[in-house]
Amino acid sequence: MNVVIWARVSSREQREGYSIDAQLRATRDRATKNGWTAVREFVVAESAKRGAERLAFNEMFRWVRANARKDKIQAILSHKLDRVCRNMRDAVRLQELEDDCGVQLSFVENQFSPGAAGALSFNVMAAVAQYYSDNLRTEVLKGMDEKVRQGWPTGHAPFGYVNVDDRDEPVKPHPEKAKVVTRIFELYATGDWTFERLSDYLASEGLTYQPSQPRFNRTTLAYILNNRFYVGELVRNGRTYPGKYKVFIDRTVFDACQDVLQGRNRRTGHPTLMFSGGLLRCAFCGRAVTGEVICRELAAGGVNAHAYYKCPNNNRAPNHPNVRWREADLDAAITEDLQSLRMPTPEIAEWFREAIRSAFADVTVGERIRKQALAKRQAELRAMLDRLLNGFLSGAIDEPIFKAKSDELKNELSRVEADLESAAVYDPEAGTLAVRVFDFSQNLAECWHGSNSVQKREILNCVSSNRLVSDVNLALTKRKPFDFIAERPFFKDGRGDWTKFEPLRQALAAFSQPFLAPPAPYLLAAGRFALPQSA
Ligand SMILES: [Zn+2]
């Protein structure tokens, strides 16, 4: 088979000793070993002159495209994927080469393992590549900005509104659903409801969200009650624009709801010690933090009850300060921590959600095809073993030949069966769960506000494996994949540039990986918290 070799090295890498020669040696060795003929070598050493790499890539692309058929070129051989795909626009064009001319990519060091994990890795790459190939960052965004500046939402209007084909008023209140939204705000503003009870109550009144998900669950209620769209504010990239659509929620009612969401003016029972019972540990001595309710009689009569949490250690080391928190302060610290999981912009979040969906969609298809192929081979091998045995029993085959051949077939059969078994572990619903958990991570703070103490404990257990409090700090040890989304280790300054390929790829891969194995119970629990909130 004929191949084209592609080697690339940047000036920085050259300084670090990663040379073109080493790459060429590795790729040529591989070609020789596989019995391939290298028809041509393309080499680019990135110099001070920018754009040289681009020219070299374009030259290779054109040449391969023009000569693939004539020279029977079947692959571009490179050292690693990042040699050809530093620029992800190029990855999209290389895919084009494969589709149009049958020229595949081959690497000396394959980064993709077989099976679902490898397919996912590649799909994550492709999803990120997609991000670069579409117009998201340029034309589309410009159009969206303009629409928002004019006072109209982009995409689907929130629940309670309807998109209509009317140039002067493209978004109108929905005659029925607007009433439901009004009811939700008015009820919640009283401070007498948790999301859970409100959800039950709306269901009992026969009010429904949408056909695929009739109940208003916590996520949906949190999303509605926190959405400033309902008071005529369009928020985009941190800026607020005045909306032109009709508003049907009263400003004072909305503000009252915000107070309740922030934990003010809530009248849902006496304080319970929701953070006690081993949920939190002392950062200094590791003891489980305990809670107490302190009641103070008020001068005007009545009692004021406050919940406090403290380290119960009475034999504290000299450097162990007093660890004592008011419940409200603890709640605020947790809220702030949970908010850190939110993506920098809604566009990134939306893209991320789509990328997870598409990455998993292909894995499912790939796994199904692979499983079918394995099952077919299994049947073939069994039939061959049967024929072999018949041949042996009828005397047509000698014992040594029978033995050798039968061992060979049995070996392959056990390999195929092991592969089938590992393939069976992968659940096609994994992608759905991954998207749900992602939605949960993006709405954590709202979900937290609207939850009762039992649910709050559950949320903390979903997101974190360990929770430490010092005298001034709270630290949640996040579980996978929340750790990666919260800490963003690929950003030195904690913010970083999300429009770069590598951070996006790392984040997406890290987020998706835990869903390939049978998901842990906390992931299933997180998935139950947040059903997908479609428009
Ligand atoms: Zn302590």
pLDDT at position 533 is 41
Same structural domain, 307 and 243: no
- Residue 535: the pLDDT is 33
Place of tokens 């064009």: 93
Cα of 278 vs centre of ligand 1, distance in Å, is 13
User: How far, in Å, from the CA of 305 to the mean position of ligand 1?
Assistant: 25
Residues 82 and 122 in one domain: no
**Ligand 1 mean position, distance from CA 274 (Å):** 19
What's the 483 CA to ligand 1 centre distance in angstroms?
A: 25
Average pLDDT over residues 61-83: 85
Is there a domain that residue 28 lies in? yes
Q: Is the pLDDT reported for residue 231 higher than 70?
A: yes
Distance 273 CA to ligand 1 centre (A): 18
What is the Å distance from ligand 1's center to 290 Cα? 11
Contact 525, 458 (CB under 8 A): yes
Whether residue 93 is found in the same domain as residue 8: yes
Ligand 1 centroid to 470 CA: how many Å?
8
In a domain, 96, yes or no: yes
For residue 316, how far is its CA from the centre of ligand 1 (angstroms)? 7
* Same domain, yes or no: 159 and 224: yes
Distance CA 425, CA 341 (A): 29
Measured in Å, residue 319 CA sits from the centre of ligand 1 at: 10
Which of 211, 231, 261 is where one domain is finished?
A: 261
Q: What's the pLDDT band for 102 if we cut at 50, 70, 90? A: confident
**How far apart are the CA of 334 and the centre of ligand 1, in A?**
19
Residue 59, domain member (yes or no): yes
Cα–ligand 1 centroid distance for 309 (angstroms): 12
CA of 295 to the centre of ligand 1 (A): 24
The sign one gets for the Cα dihedral 208, 356, 235, 167 is negative
In a domain, 274, yes or no: no
Distance, in Å, from the CA atom of 240 to the CA atom of 235, rounded to the nearest integer, reads 4
Asked if 322 and 470 count as a contact pair (C-beta separation under 8 A), the reply is: no
Q: Please give the distance, rounded to the nearest whole angstrom, from the Cα atom of residue 452 to the centre of ligand 1.
A: 27
Cα(469) to centroid of ligand 1, in Å? 9
In a domain, 270, yes or no: no
94 and 184 inside one domain: no
Higher pLDDT, 188 or 132: 188
Which secondary structure element, helix H or strand E, spans residue 325, and what is its range?
strand 324-326
**Same structural domain, 346 and 377:** yes
Residue position matching structure tokens 């922030």: 262
Residue 135's pLDDT band, with cuts at 50, 70 and 90, is very low
* Distance from Cα 311 to the centre of ligand 1, integer Å: 5
Please give the distance, rounded to the nearest whole angstrom, from the Cα atom of residue 466 to the centre of ligand 1: 15
Residue 97 and residue 42 in one domain: yes
CA 462 / ligand 1 centre spacing (Å): 24
Distance in Å, CA 472 to ligand 1 centroid: 13
Q: What is the pLDDT at residue 12?
A: 62
Instruction: Evaluate if residue 160 carries a pLDDT over 90.
Output: yes
Q: How far is the CA of 464 from the centre of ligand 1 (A)?
A: 20
What is the whole-number distance in angstroms between the Cα of residue 318 and the centre of ligand 1? Answer: 11
Q: How far is CA 188 from CA 30, 194, 256, 263, 456, in A?
A: 67, 8, 8, 12, 19
CA of 457 to the centre of ligand 1 (A): 21
The whole-number pLDDT of residue 272 equals: 66
Torsion of CA 294, 295, 298, 304, to 10 degrees: 80
Question: In terms of residue numbers, what domain contains 442?
Answer: 114-147+340-535
Distance 283 CA to ligand 1 centre (A): 6
Report CA(288)–ligand 1 centroid distance (Å). 8
CA–centroid distance, 17 to ligand 1, in Å, is: 51
How many domains does one find in the chain? 4
Contact, 221 vs 199, CB < 8 A?
A: yes
CATH code, 172: 3.90.1750.20
Q: Is residue 535 part of a domain?
A: yes
CA of 330 to the centre of ligand 1 (A): 16
Same domain assignment for residues 506 and 411: yes
Same domain, 345 and 489: yes
Centre of ligand 1 to C-alpha 323, Å, is 7
Q: With respect to residue 360, please indicate whether it lies within any of the assigned structural domains.
A: yes
Q: In whole angstroms, how far apart are CA 235 and each of 8, 181, 195, 221?
A: 44, 19, 24, 19
Give mean pLDDT, residues 277-287.
88
Residue 270: predicted pLDDT = 43
Helix (H, G, I), strand (E, B) or coil at 274: coil
The answer to whether 327 and 271 are in contact (CB under 8 A) is: yes
Q: Is the pLDDT of residue 14 over 80?
A: no
Tell me the pLDDT tens digit for each residue of 518-531: 788 889 888 887 65
CA of 291 to the centre of ligand 1 (A): 14
* Per-residue model confidence (pLDDT) at position 479: 92
pTM given for the model = 0.55
